[in-house]
Structure 1
Amino acid sequence: MADNYKETECLVIGSGIAGATCAYVAARAGLKVCLLSKRSDPNTTNTYWAQGGIVYTGHDDSPELLVDDVMRAGRGLNNRAAVEFLAANGPRVVREILIDVAKVAFARNGDKGELDLTREGAHSVNRILYSADNTGREIQLALMAVLRSMENVEIITGATAIDVITLRHHSTDLQARYLLEDRCAGAYVYCEEKKEVVTILAQRTVLATGGLADIFLHSTNEKGTVGDGVVMAKRAGVDVINMEYIQFHPTTLYIPGEKRFLLSEALRGEGARLRNLRGEQFMQRYNPELRDLAGRDEVTIAIWDEMIENGEDHVLLDVANYIDEDPAIRFPTIYATCLAAGIDIKKDPVPVVPAAHYFCGGVLVDRCGRTTLSGLYAVGEVSCTGLHGANRLASTSLLEGLLWGYEAANDIVDQMSRGVTIAFPMLTSVRDWIPTGYVENEDPALIAQDWLSIKSTMWNYVGIVRTHQRLKIAIEDLRHMYLRIEDFYRRTPVSKEIIGLFHGAQAAILVTDAALRNSTSVGCHFIRSNKGSTRRFPAMPGGSEIAQHV
């Protein structure tokens, strides 16, 4: 960035499948696009790490069958219109963008080279496109390669969004306060290379910042995925919804002291089975029909209960005895990662535990990704289309990000072509960023301790199994921490680390407050009565054994 001021037509904050698709479709129509990544490499996204695949359409499949599967996984709390829209239009956009344009190397079989399809938990048929066990990586790299070839797309890395700009709050034009409908006009962005805040003005702004699972002690998400987008939207007065629905992935590699590595649901889709440490398969006790292919919330709770009942700190995933295809070929990334940890999945059972994985709620949007703030869109995991309801069906997240990124861009192009824009004098009346403070220097030890407190509170009290008592304790502790963190934020020069902590603390409160307000136990918002005996929960990786009521 040459200075601390920039203008563009479409600002996209986030470079995963949703943001990249939105940027491509908008740029394809001729718009000037600015794509931001908070990391040094725009390919460092949650999309990149997605293993399993993306929903397409299978043999003997139908939109109606997919709708039934998605609604069942979401416990009927889904937005049916969004589910039907995805089922009817998703496969077409996969074909157009990923296969025809990006030319993603999905697995193929047979002499004719037909697309191969696999199945994952709670799907009725094989309908999932994949590329070994690194589907997300193939998609991410392919989309980014397309964007890099487009002259009207500027990709800015090391850029952390601080706030969305709204005319009522940030314009120096006094007439802006009388606008009946407030409007988003871009964002304030911290540029890590320059160590300064840049004002980026835009006719349309798209949040594609991903989820918030890294506010939990154990997470499958990329480091720093702490809810930036949903927090910025909430501060701007935008509606958010379903904040309590946090999906925990049932199977991540259990190596004490190491970061959680996701073990794709496709392993169980191909036949792998869960066992406790006594060697017993247990899923038939929890879901006799689907067993190991039950929904993620069911499998996660089953694993958790097995660990509690048996005093174990993990369970086992048996790949060797149930998958016919060579795991080293079908799942090369998983095979190599496990082997590096001393586990040969061709012979050895894999120790697994659940971890925070996916945010089913977010910024409320319509079919085109429009939020309740004019000019602001949200796509991908940061948004809540209502598709997932109370629990997400496997391999729908990539498709949701793709489809809503596509639709948001088309809506932006349509509005811009009709002249629905912010007048230049009003746009340029936006004031510069007001520095947060100069009093204290950033203290890494304080930031690290605050993060440990937030993540431990979220894991122990707002995690897989919740009670009213735990949630009350959590909200009190988090609000107390936030007051100190906010004061620290206001007094300290801005930095990526300070912004992340500030946003993460707010995201934790939003999730916990929503969970406390919703007394209905459903899907991945699992509540148990405070009454009953106190049991010792087994120590989770990196955590200590704690007494909790169940």
Structure 2
Amino acid sequence: MTTHYESDVLIIGSGIAGATAALLLAEAGLAVTVVTRSRDPHESNTYYAQGGIIYRGENDSTAMLAEDVMRAGAGHCNAEAVTILGDEGPELVKSILIEKLGVAFDHDNSGALSLAREGGHAIPRIVHATDATGKAIQIALIRAVGTHPNIQLLAAHTAIDILTPSHHSLNRLAVYEPLACIGAYLFDQESGRVVLCTAKKTLLATGGVGQLFLRTTNPAGARGDGIAMANRAGARIINAEFIQFHPTTFYQSRAPHLLISEAVRGEGARLVHADGTPFMQHYAPEWKDLAPRDIVARSIHEEMIKHDVPNVYLDLCSYIPARRIKSHFPNIRRSCLQYGIDISKDLVPVVPAAHYFCGGIWVDIWGRSTIGHLYAAGETACTGVHGANRLASTSLLEGLVWGSRTARHILKHRENPYLVHAGDIPPWCDEGSIAADPALIAQDMSYIRHIMWNYVGLVRNSQRLKRAIRELRSLEVEIEHFYRVTRVNDSLIGLRNMVRNAIIVTFAAWENNQNKGCHFRE
């Protein structure tokens, strides 16, 4: 007997987009189920966002912000979505994050919010909570979500596939109905069982695809689960070739790829070689170290090849007073000290790493996908705000704005005429007869990451993309067979989604032969 959950809204993902939507819907009286594959619902891309969130600078305007967003996005942004971001975002930061949740952003000596400038921004307009802004926001959101009586929080539950009557209903005449979502199959990691969750509306907010790459700033869950599920169900995916690589992640052979926030360059740090010589002035004379991320990341890549070195360096100590480094970047300093680097005294070794997915599930200005009653928000979705490359500190704001907008739209359109009786959905049938071998899964994941890093990474060309397509398609056939004969678990679900997403990204890169933003073909 399959366990069955019912709710008004099913939200898969607990980052800023999913948690914001859950809180607003619950406060309006709807029954909400929030699902996260992590045992700790704080675990999300939001939690690890060191940089800030856009607010409103002095003499700032929507038009000024839009100009910066469009420039960073290489003119490929959805102008309507960018305007919505600028019009609604700052007020939501104030009303939800500051007033409702009490997020403790930094203030200056006069007591006003401290505004920072980051790469690609014409003026200071970014608010921070030291160098752990995402963590402060996520803790506040999960505190509110976890204590709300209208929210059921299912941690350690992995979404397998979304439910659509045309695919899953026992009534085969449902195939003639419009494509619509009515919930999802979920894998309960504790019991090892698959449960059914039906809902009038479903929101995918599962984050990005950083784990497709050998080097990434993203946490383990950033496998693109929501994107792969939506793709299998028939949703439109766009702009998948635009993978933003963060220019500066900590580099040591046995250390994790710790994100070194762009805010350190906003404070004056420079990218240099081992002898302290800066180089960004040769690539971006106007912006230098504050150029858009794709330019900085490719510049570092070029310097590493030109000088045959495994990394370059960030120099904070020559340009920022030690006292300011320690007060503004305490978490970065603490993390680097674990590996023998004091950022207030030493050069910091850095390399680029996969950071942000600018594409995703196509959604309209209210977060609706091409599948009825299925919404997407945050990094999982593509509103068009980021275009071909994301402007610094827009991601948290986009999650906040579209978490709010999806909630507002759901509240106005609560019913789902295609919601079928639970008895019409077949219970999960696990065809697998053997236990998943973790060594096989780990090897396939490693293979995908190496293919994507070497062939579909910072710099692409036709030969590399052809090789990637050939190898990934062959691998997907093997993984799908493996999936069918093996008992399901979280890692196997993730592997299946990773290879699907790798193919989506690679085909998108193959089809776009124009250099734009963070998609660069030789």
Same fold (TM over 0.5): yes
Aligned to 2:512: 518
Q: Paired residue for 2:233, among 227, 233, 236?
A: 236
Structure 2 distance, partners of 1:428, 1:103, is 44
Distance across 2 between alignment mates of 1:163 and 1:54: 32
Q: 1:315 to 1:423 in 2, by over 3 A?
A: closer
In the alignment, the residues of structure 1 paired with residue 494 and residue 334 of structure 2 have an alpha-carbon distance, to the nearest angstrom, of 32
Instruction: Show the counterpart of 1:466.
Output: 460
- 1:424–1:254 distance in 2 versus 1, CA, 3 Å: closer
Aligned to 2:203: 206
Query: How far did 1:279 drift?
Result: 2.6
Question: How many residue pairs end up in the alignment?
Answer: 521
Q: 1:291 aligns with which of 288, 293, 296?
A: 288
- Deviation, structure 1 residue 424: 6.3
Deviation at 1:20, TM superposition (A): 0.3
Q: Are the structure 2 counterparts of residues 424 and 218 from structure 1 closer, same or farther at C-alpha, using a change threshold of 3 Å?
A: closer
Specify whether residues 379 and 425 from structure 1 end up closer, same or farther in structure 2 by C-alpha distance, changes over 3 A only. Answer: closer
Q: For 2:496, which of 502, 505, 509 is the aligned residue?
A: 502
Q: Distance in 1 between matches of 2:370 and 2:422?
A: 20
The CA RMSD measured in Å over matched residues stands at 1.2
8 Å contact kept, 1:277–1:312 = no
Rounded to whole Å, the distance in 2 between the matches of 1:157 and 1:207 is: 15
The yes-or-no answer on 1:73 pairing with 2:72 is: yes
Q: 158, 161, 164: which one pairs with 1:163?
A: 161
Counterpart of 2:151? 153
Corresponding residue of 1:352: 350
Work out whether 1:309 is the aligned partner of 2:306.
yes
TM superposition shift of 1:400? 0.2
Residues 386-428 of structure 1: CA distance to partner in whole angstroms, max 9, x if unpaired? 0001000000000000100100011001112xxx333665455
CA distance in 1, matches of 2:52, 2:365: 23
Contact 2:5 2:196 in 1 (8 A): yes
Structure 1 residues 427 and 442: CA distance shift in structure 2, 3 A: closer
1:270 is aligned, of 255, 267, 270, to 267
State the Cα distance separating 1:481 from its structure 2 match.
1.1
SS at match of 1:49: coil
1:431 is the counterpart of 2:444: no
Residue of structure 2 equivalent to 1:378: 376
1:55-66 map, 5 Å = 55-66=54-65
1-side partners of 2:452 and 2:256: how far apart?
Answer: 17
Q: Could you tell me whether the CA contact under 8 Å between 1:213 and 1:356 is conserved in 2?
A: yes
Which residue, 141, 154, 168 being the options, matches 2:139? 141
The aligned residue for residue 11 of structure 2 is: 12
Question: Matched residues in 2 for 1:423 and 1:459: separation?
Answer: 42
Is the contact between residue 430 and residue 488 of structure 2 (CA under 8 Å) also seen in structure 1?
yes
SS of equivalent to 2:231? helix
Cα distance in 1 for residues equivalent to 2:319 and 2:63 = 31
Q: Secondary structure at the match of 1:160?
A: strand
Residues 312-391 of structure 1: matches in 2 within 5 Å? 312-324=309-321, 325-391=323-389
Report the Cα offset of residue 466 of structure 1: 0.6
Range that drifts further, 227-236 or 166-175: 166-175
Report the Cα distance in structure 2 between the residues aligned to 1:427 and 1:41, rounded to whole angstroms. 29
Whole-Å Cα distance in 1 between the matches of residues 254 and 217 of structure 2? 14
Change (3 A) 1:368 1:427: farther
Question: Which residue identity lines up with residue 68 of structure 2 in the other structure?
Answer: D
Query: Which amino acid in the other structure matches residue 252 of structure 2?
Result: I
> Shift of residue 182 of structure 1?
2.0
Q: Which amino acid counterpart does residue 431 of structure 1 have in structure 2?
A: P
Residue identity matched to 2:137: I
1:108 partner SS: coil
Distance 1:282 1:66 in 2: 28
Q: State the distance in 1 between where 2:447 and 2:371 align.
A: 33
Task: State how far apart, in whole Å, the 1-side matches of 2:283 and 2:179 are.
Answer: 50
**CA drift at 1:149:** 2.1
Aligned AA (1:522)? K
> Secondary structure at the residue paired with 1:48?
coil
**Cα distance change, pair 425–346 in 1 and its aligned pair in 2 (3 A):** closer
Partner Cα separation in structure 2 for residue 427 and residue 521 of structure 1 = 49
CA distance in 1, matches of 2:112, 2:417: 48
Partners of 1:40 and 1:118 lie apart in 2 by 34
Distance, in Å, in 2 between the alignment partners of 1:39 and 1:93 is: 27
**2:39 paired residue number:** 40
- Correspondence for 1:99: 98
Conserved in 1, the CA contact under 8 Å of 2:441 and 2:492? Answer: yes
Amino acid at match of 1:58: G
SS in 2 for 1:9: strand
Q: Quote the residue 2:484 is aligned against.
A: 490
Task: Give 3-state SS (helix, strand or coil) of 1:189's partner.
Answer: strand
Q: Check the 8 A contact 2:182/2:418 in 1, yes or no.
A: no
Residues 185 and 427 in structure 1, CA contact (< 8 A), matched pair in contact too = no
2:193 partner amino acid: E
Q: Classify 1:405/1:428 alpha carbon distance in 2 versus 1 (closer, same or farther; 3 Å).
A: farther
Structure 1 distance, partners of 2:36, 2:420, is 29
Which runs of structure 1 show a deviation greater than 3 angstroms over 4 or more consecutive aligned residues? Answer: 422-428
The share of aligned pairs that are identical, in percent, is 49
* 5+ residue gaps, structure 1: 529-550
Distance 2:409 2:466 in 1: 42
SS at 1:119 equivalent:
coil
Partner residue in 2 for 1:534: none
Q: For the residues of structure 2 that align with 1:358 and 1:372, how far apart are their CA atoms?
A: 23
Q: Which residue in the other structure is 2:26 paired with?
A: 27
Amino acid at match of 1:364: W
SS in 2 for 1:162: strand
Output the CA distance in 2 between the equivalents of 1:496 and 1:407: 31
Partner of 1:85: 84
Instruction: Give the AA of the match of 1:432.
Output: P
Q: Check conservation: 1:436, 1:489, Cα contact below 8 A.
A: no
1:171–1:426: 8 Å Cα contact kept in structure 2? no
SS at match of 1:164: strand
Q: Which of 111, 114, 122 matches 2:112? A: 114
